[in-house]
A and B are shown apart, each in its own frame.
Chain A
Amino acid sequence: MERNIIELRNVCKDFNGHRALNDVGFYVRKNEFITLLGPSGCGKTTTLRLIGGFEQVTSGEILFEGTDITSMPPYKRKVNTVFQKYALFPHMNVFDNISFGLKVKKMDKRLIEKKVKEMLSLVNLKGFEKRSINSLSGGQQQRIAIARALINEPEVLLLDEPLGALDLKLRKEMQIELKRMQQKLGITFIFVTHDQEEALTMSDKIIVMKDGKLQQLGTPEDIYNEPKNSFVADFIGESTIIDGIMHEDYLVEFAGRKFKCLDKGFMKKEKVDVVIRPEDIKVVPTREGMLTVTVESVIFKGVHYEMMVRSNKHVFKIHSTEMVHASQEAGIIIGPNDIHIMKKERVADEK
């Protein structure tokens, strides 16, 4: 119990009658890197702002190390935030920005100077003290924003899509660097992103959200391999989702054929969503396949080919290093552990 540093209980948040968060509850353990993942408007940033204290819950509780902080103002919370657009103070130089929090606490000047130096070397910007904010690149501003938050030695660092404005290469570098900082400092990170790859790369735990509701909470592996519903499956990585019927335990019918699978506990003849990852479908010569398909399109993606193949009404997406030319026939094999059966949930099917 004591190791839960942040806990949300039945949190709801309304904006002008619109429900932005609906009964969200989860906990974060100390030193965890946890990511709130979802499409825009799913409530992930709202959740972060509630933890930061910038918004007030409509109902529910937020706990910090077991004590209720639901109505505590932001300046009393032991959390710090890295904002999406950095929110650095433009009229101050780098030193004054980073030292802002310590100056508020009236810390000794020489200690502040020493700490700022340490922080700048942590974010690889030694000697930048006197620089003005406007003279820095986006990536450098990003690092200053992180340093400004971390210098206060927060128990929890909140990051609101901090890498959103950076180019791809810089993003990748910062992902690794953030993870390194988090492990080195042993601070709990709560990270918000809509980028599933980023979430999978960095997180210890991922919370997938949609329409203000929590969809799934788990390790990156859990969420990728065992998505709870077709929304999560679709959002995390790519997948083909088709209608199927569960005949009995371990036997599902889709695309006009029965397949062995590993799922059980459904009603007889229950309609289900069948989710298959594109890399789990094997392409073989027509005779050896479980299904015969026609290739509709082929795109070269670098590491693999992406093929859209059709079998009657059903289209499958395949990632394979083997290439079959468009409009040719081929066979496909789908193994029992590559078939994921989800209960039908119409809410998760809008995409």
Chain B
Amino acid sequence: MVGRFLKKIYVSLVYLFLYVPILILIIFSFNDSKSRGTWGGFTLKWYKELFTDSQIMSALYYTIAIAIASTIIATIIGTVAAIGIHQMKIKHKSIVMNLTYIPVLNADIVTGISLMILFIFLKLQLGFMTLLIAHITFNIPYVILSVLPKLKQLDTNLYEAALDLGATPWHALWRVIIPEIMPGIITGGLLAFTLSIDDFVISFFTTGSGVSNLSITIYSMARRGIKPQINALSTIMFFTVLSLLLIVNVRANKNTQGKENVI
């Protein structure tokens, strides 16, 4: 009984530690006082100011544009790559899979700087395009890693069955394989979208010409002192990313449950 009680306290402490800072951030985003120490009553004015601030609105536009574009492109490239990797012989497959894991495990700062150097070397003007390319690049491995397990679960005869019934390879891929692995593709896409919205380090090094996303804008604003709008903005970002991650996790659970049922 005591042990169970202690366990509960322990878990509560861990989560308290993790979430109190965010909670305070959220509370202060509704604080009427400009001071960070005192509570001056409830207000939504920071949120209102947020949406009238042209700098933040432009950052929001870039963030969402980059997120949508990079998600779509990375999902397509990643899915095609996953199908290719799945067909490979085991030896080649393990080499390619290691190459896929390295960018995932690599420090963001290394990825960011190396991309920046590459863009400069290629004489690409840092800006929207380079930012987009960078986001596509770091999103592709996550899509591959979400789609591959679905391909492994696939009955190997499904593709052959479609060919057997008269479908061309293209038709079989489109009508049978893609619908079967769609849950993995969507999960990969959601993950890519979340990561793109979330990214600061890589974006910081690969953008320029006045193009900056939300995280970069917050960073530069914070250097000039924390404005309460930043609390509001951070709160919105937190909830956006949280809800996307919840969707990804619920989907992942559903998939594993489905698999258990089949077995």
**A and B pair up:** yes
Residues of A bordering B, CB below 8 Å: 52-54, 73-75, 79-81, 83-85, 87-91, 100-101, 104-105, 134, 148-149, 152
Contact A101 B166 (CB under 8 A): yes
Given contacts A83-B157, A104-B171, A134-B262, contact A52 B164 (CB under 8 A): yes
B179 at the interface (CB under 8 A from A): yes
The residue on B at minimum CB distance from A83 is B157
Contact A87 B158 (CB under 8 A): yes
B160: A residues at CB distance < 8 A: 52, 54, 74, 81, 83, 87
B6 at the interface (CB under 8 A from A): no
Given contacts A74-B160, A134-B262, contact A87 B155 (CB under 8 A): yes
B161 at the interface (CB under 8 A from A): yes
The residue on B at minimum CB distance from A96 is B175
Bound complex: CA of A151 vs CA of B160, how far in Å? 17
Separation in Å of the A54 CB from the closest CB of chain B? 5
Separation in Å of the B177 CB from the closest CB of chain A? 10
Separation in Å of the B151 CB from the closest CB of chain A? 14
- Residue in A84, A87, A149 with the greatest tally of chain B CB atoms within 10 Å: A87
Given contacts A83-B157, A85-B155, contact A74 B164 (CB under 8 A): yes
Contact B157 A85 (CB under 8 A): yes
Q: A52-B164, A81-B160 are in contact. List 20 more A-B contacts (CB 8 A).
A: A52-B160, A54-B164, A75-B167, A75-B168, A75-B169, A81-B161, A81-B164, A83-B157, A83-B160, A83-B161, A84-B157, A85-B157, A87-B161, A89-B158, A89-B161, A89-B180, A91-B179, A100-B167, A104-B165, A105-B166
Contact B162 A100 (CB under 8 A): yes
Q: Is the interface of B mostly helix, strand, loop or mixed?
A: helix
Bound complex: CA of A73 vs CA of B182, how far in Å? 27
The residue on B at minimum CB distance from A101 is B165
Bound complex: CA of A79 vs CA of B164, how far in Å? 8
User: What are 25 sample pairs from A and B whose C-beta atoms fall under 8 A apart?
Assistant: A53-B163, A73-B163, A74-B160, A74-B164, A75-B165, A75-B169, A79-B164, A81-B160, A81-B164, A83-B157, A84-B157, A87-B157, A87-B158, A89-B179, A89-B180, A91-B179, A91-B180, A91-B182, A100-B167, A100-B175, A101-B165, A101-B166, A105-B166, A134-B261, A148-B165
Contact B163 A80 (CB under 8 A): no
Given contacts A85-B155, A87-B160, A89-B158, contact A80 B165 (CB under 8 A): yes
- Please report which residues of chain B, range 212-263, place their CB below 8 angstroms from some CB of chain A when the two chains form the complex: 261-262
Contact B262 A80 (CB under 8 A): no
Q: How many inter-chain residue pairs (CB < 8 Å) link A and B?
A: 63
- Please report which residues of chain B, range 179-216, place their CB below 8 angstroms from some CB of chain A when the two chains form the complex: 179-180, 182
How many residues on chain B are close to A (CB under 8 Å)?
21
A148: B residues at CB distance < 8 A: 165
Separation in Å of the B165 CB from the closest CB of chain A? 4
- Closest 10 A-B residue pairs measured CB to CB? A87-B157, A101-B165, A87-B161, A74-B163, A83-B157, A104-B166, A81-B164, A91-B179, A75-B163, A75-B166
A80: B residues at CB distance < 8 A: 164-165
Separation in Å of the B100 CB from the closest CB of chain A? 26
B129 at the interface (CB under 8 A from A): no
The residue on A at minimum CB distance from B165 is A101
The residue on A at minimum CB distance from B156 is A87
- Residue in B157, B171, B182 with the greatest tally of chain A CB atoms within 10 Å: B157
A100: B residues at CB distance < 8 A: 162, 165, 167, 175
B176 at the interface (CB under 8 A from A): yes
B165: A residues at CB distance < 8 A: 75, 80, 100-101, 104, 148-149, 152
Separation in Å of the B61 CB from the closest CB of chain A? 37
The listed residue (A79, A85, A90, A134) touching B180 by CB distance below 8 A is A90
Bound complex: CA of A148 vs CA of B157, how far in Å? 14
Bound complex: CA of A85 vs CA of B161, how far in Å? 11
B167: A residues at CB distance < 8 A: 75, 100, 104
A149: B residues at CB distance < 8 A: 164-165
Separation in Å of the B106 CB from the closest CB of chain A? 36
B169: A residues at CB distance < 8 A: 75
A73: B residues at CB distance < 8 A: 163
Separation in Å of the A165 CB from the closest CB of chain B? 13
Separation in Å of the B256 CB from the closest CB of chain A? 16
- Residue in B158, B164, B182 with the greatest tally of chain A CB atoms within 10 Å: B164
B163: A residues at CB distance < 8 A: 53-54, 73-75
